[in-house]
Structure 1
Amino acid sequence: MHRVADRRIKIAAARADFLRFGHAETQSVPGVVAASWQRSFSAGVDASTSQAVFHNDLDLTGRLMRCSEPVIARLSDEMAEMPLSIVLTDYKARILSRSETDKTIGTLLDDVSLAPGFNYAEASVGTNGIGTVLESGQPLYIVGPEHFLEHLQPFACAGSPIRDPITGRVEGVLDISCLIEDASPLMHSLVRSAAHEIERNLLADRSQRQQALFEEYVRVDSRNRGAVMAIGGTVVMGNAVAQSSFSPDEQWTIQEHARYLMISPGQPVDQIELSSGKVVHVRGKRVVMGPDVAGIVVVVEIVSEPAPVPVPASRLTLPLRRHRLKKPIPADSSAILHDAESLLGKRASSGVVTALTAGAPLLVLGEAGGGKVSLLAELYRQIVPLGRSVVFGAEQLNQHGVHSAINNDLISALARPTLYIFRNIDRFTEAATAELEAFLVTREAGAGGLAVTVSQPDLQADLAAARPYTALLQHFTTSVTVAPLRHRQGDLPDIVTRVLARRAGLRPATVSAGAMRVISRYPWPGNIRQLEEALDTALLTRPVGAIQAEDLPAYCHGGAPRLLSAIEAGERDLIVGALHKADGNRMRAAESLGIARSSLYRKLKTFGITVTDS
C-alpha cells in the first residue's frame, strides 16, 4: 500500500514539473502516460480549465450498442457491491452510455462531464482511460495523477478498446471508472475480459448478417444464369459470370451503385451506363435483419454494348488502346450537368434528353439550387438549335396568372419552337395551378410544343395533404431527379470549371489544388447556387490567377453539425482568418485571437473547421 502511495506521489510531482516546465523526470511515469501528457500539451489542453465537448449526433441503436448491452448489464449485476461506473464510447471517444452501481459516483462523474454525449478524446480532456486508450490502441489503467486534467485526479479508470473481429478496426472503448480509494488493479483485467465478450458478440452479429447475405446470394445465384453480386459492409461476392462479364472498374461501379440502391427509397431496380459504354439493368433485393439492412444481392443483365471499332489489318499487330475523349466545354457555360462524369449526373441528363426528344411533358425533381433549369435549357438548345427556353417562376405566375404570361410570350415567339419551364410548381396558388392544368390539357390535345415543370417537393407529405399542385401529376408520364451536389462528387471539377468560366468571364481564373480539396470536402447544402456564391466571394479576393483555399468563404472550411447563429458565424470567420494568417499554426492563431489554445481547439471542433494547405 505504501509503495502505491509513494508511486502516486512521484507521478504527481512529475506531472507538476511537466505542466510547469514542459518536461519532467519520467522514470516513475509509465511511458504511455508520459507520451499522452506530451500529446495533450501539444493539443492545447489546459490542465485546469479544459472541458469535454457535448455532441448530439450519436448512434444509439447501432451494432456496438446492441452487442454491448447484455455485457454491461451482466457486469453491473456482478459489480453491484462496488461503487463504480461502466462507460461505453464510440470510436471518436463520444460517450454512448453510462451505467453506475452507486448514485454518489454518478453525481461525481456528472460534475466532470463523464456522461452520455460528451467527448473524452485526448485532444479535448487530455490523458484519461478513454481517449488515451484510443490513441495508444491498447487497454490501459489510468489512476489519479496520471490524468492530465486537475478535476480527473480523484478517479481511477480502466479502459479497453473494442475491435471489430473481422476488420480489426476499433469500434469504441469500454471503461470502468471509480474513485481512487475504491480502485483495484483487477479492474484492468475485468474491463479487458468484458471488451473481448463484446467483440465476440460483434463477431456473432456480423456473422449472422454475413450468413444471411450469403444465403440470399446462393439462393439468387441458383435461380439465375447471369451475373449475380452481393454487397454488404466490407463483404463483396460475385459469381463467375459477373467476374468474366465485367472488368474490375465495371464491377466497382456496379457495386457502388448497388450500395446506393440499398439505402435509397423505393425498389432497388435501375438501369445504368458503365464507363465502357455498356448499359446494364440492375435488379436487387435488400437483405434485412431486424431494423438494419445487412446488404443487397443484385442480378446484373447487359442491355447493350458499344459496337466494336474496326481496326485496319495493317495495324493488328500493334497493341490496342481505347481512349475516352472528353467533350469540350461549350461556349455557353450555363450547361452544368450535361457532360456529367458521375452516374447520377449522367442519368439526369439522359432522362431529360429522352423526354425532350419525345416531346413528352417532363417533371423534374431535385433540391433547390441543383442546376435543374440550366440543365433543361442547355439540353433543349442542343436538341432544338433554333428553339428557345422560357422560364416562369412561381411568384410571377401567382401574381400575373399563367394565361397572361403565356399569351404575352406568344406575341414575341415568332413561331419558334419553345420549351416552357415552370419553376417550383409546389409554390403555386390554387388559381395558378388551375390555369397551368388547363394549359397542360390544351398542349396534350395537340397544341404542339413542350410543357416542363420543375419542383423539389416532399411528394409523400404533399400527396397526403392534397396540396394543389399534386393534381397536376396526372399530366406527366416521365420524371427525372437531379441529384444534389453532395451525391455527385465526380462532377465537381467540371462544375467548378464551368461556374468559374461563367462568373469570371474573360479573366484568367483557375482553382488551385488546395482550394479544390476544400471544395470537395464541403457538402454544399445550397448546391450549385451556393457554389456560385462561394466562387464569387473568392473572385472578389483574387480576381485573376489561381484561387487559393483561403480565398473561399470561411464556411467552406468546416462542417458544423448545426446552423450557426450570426455571432457564431462571425466568430468562425475570425478563427479561419487567424489560422490562415498563422499558416495553420494553432498556437499563433490562438495568441492573435487572444484566447487559450484549449478554447481554440473546442471552437475548431464546434464549428467543424479544418484548414487545408494551398
Structure 2
Amino acid sequence: MGYEIVTQDGLRRLRSARETFLAAQPLPADFPAWLAAAWRRSLFLGLEVGRAEVPHVPVTPDPVLVRAAAPVLEHLASTLAGLHAAVVLSDRRARIIGRWTAEDRSRTHLDAIGTRAGADLSEPATGTNGISHVLATRRPTVIGGPEHLFDLYQQTVCAGAPVQGPLSSRPVGAIAVIGRLDAAPAVLQALAATAAAAVERELLHQASARERSLLDVFLRASPDGAPVAVLDGRTRLVSDAAAQLLRPADLDALEVWVRAAAGEVELGDGTRVLLSPALGADDPGVLARVLPAPAEARRVHRRHPPGVLRRAGLAGGSALWQALERAVSRSGDRPLLLVGEAGVGKAAIAAALQPGARMVDGSAPDATAALESLGDDDRLVLRRLDRISDAARALAVLDRFGGRAVATYTTSGPAPSYGDWTPYVVRVPSLRERTEDLGDIATALGAPLSVAALAVLRRHSWPGNVTELAAVLRWARAEAAGAPIAPRHLPPELVVPEAGPRLSELERAERATIAEALRTTDGNKVRAAELLGIARATLYRKLRRYRLT
C-alpha cells in the first residue's frame, strides 16, 4: 500500500498524513521522505496553509521565453481538449507569466485556484506544487491533491517540467499542465515533458546574437577541452575539465568578476583562475581560464572522465545525451543513482561507469544477501533498487561502498529519497526525448537504417525506450537479410501509411500514452478510458485520430 494520488486508498492515506503533519505529529514510517522534506521546507519558508488566495506580484515576462513557448503551449492547449486541463508557463522564480486553455471548465478551475499572470507559486507563497518543486529539483514531477500543503490546491493535480535555457546552467522557467484531481497524471506528465523539450529546442534556435557570441568565445577558448568557463551573470558555459575543478559555489564567486577587465583570482582550495573580458572591456562577461591547484591541495570533484559513455560504446550525440555525460562526470566520490523509465539503458550506463563491478539485481530473492557478501575491494552495480525487499540493509551496503557503487531506480517521477544515504542522482532521458540519437543507436546495434526507415522510427513514441528499439531492430535485421533496413523491413505497426496524419511531438506523446493504457488493460477501451481519466467518446475519437483502432 502506498501514497499514490491515482488510487482512492492512496488519497486517503495522503490526506490522513497531511492532517497528522499539520497537527505537528510524527508522520508514518513509510511516508515518502522527499514529500515530508518538501512539506517541512514549505512551513519553514513561511507558508500560510489556509490562505484563501494565491499571492500575486508584478512580473515582466522574458520575451525570448514567451516567444519560444507560446506556439508550443497554444497547440498543447488544443491537444488537451477533452482532458479538462490547461497549461501554464512560469519564469525561473515560479511566477506565472502565461496560461493557455481551450475549455471553459479548465479556465474556471484556473480562476478558482488563482492561477493567472503574476501568480506567485514559489514555496513560501503556495508551498510544494508542480512548478516550485520542478524548479527546485530541476526534474519533471507530478504533485496532486493532498500532496499539496496549501488548502486551495486540494482538488488540483499539476504535472510540471523544467525549461532549460540553451546557454544556462539553471532552468529559465517551467511548464505545468494543470487539471482537477480526477485528471490522468500520467497523461499530463508526458505532455508537460514533451512540451518543455520542444520549447528548449526553440530557445536554442532563437538564442540571441550575444549568447551566440559568448558560445563562440567559449568554443575558441577550449578547442581541446581546456578548463575554461564563460560567465556573464546569466549565462554559464563550463567545460568538462573546468567542471572537475570548480564547484557551483566557485562559479557563483566568479560571477562577481563579470565586469573585470583582467586579473587573477585564487579560490579556497588553491585553484587559480585567470580572468579576461569575454566580449570587450565595456561588456559584462568574463572568460575564466582555470589553473589547477597543486595535487595535494586540490579537491577531486569527479570520478568519471568526460566521454566515458561514448568510449564504452553507448551511442548518442543529442543535447540530452551530452548533458547526461556531463552529469555523470560530476558525481565526484559520491555513490551514483541513475533514475529513469524502464528500458532507457540505466543498467548499461551503470556497467560503463563501473567496469568489472559485481552486478546485483534487486528483484532477485537473495539480493540483500548477495550485497552483504561483497568484499571491501569490490565495486557494485545494484539494478532495480526500487524492487529490493529489504531497503534498509541494502542502503547500509550502498553507504559502505560510497563512490564504488552505482544503483538504478525505475521511475517516471521524482527521484526517491533515502534519508541518510545521499547519492548523486542523475536522470536518464527517455528515448522519445532524444530521437536524434536513433540513427547512432541503430548503427551501434549493427542495424544501420535507410533515411526512410529512420524517418519512420522517429514518428514512433517508444514507450519501451531502448529495449523496445533493440527488439524492433532485431526484427528488421532478420527481415532485411543483410540488405539495408528499409521501412518494409520494420514491424507493420510502426509504419504509418503516408496518407495518415502527420503527428506533432505532443500528439506522439499522447498517442504513446493511449497505446500504453490499451496495453495495460489488454485492449479494454472502457477500462483504458477510466485509466486515462477521459470520457469514452473522447478516447474513441483519439483512437480514430491516431489509427489505434
TM-score of the two chains, using structure 2 as the length reference: 0.39
TM-score of the two chains, using structure 1 as the length reference: 0.35
Q: For CA contacts below 8 A with separation 6 or more, give which structure has more relative contact order.
A: 2
Work out which of the two has the higher radius of gyration on C-alpha atoms and give 1 or 2. 1
User: Which structure carries more helix by proportion?
Assistant: 1
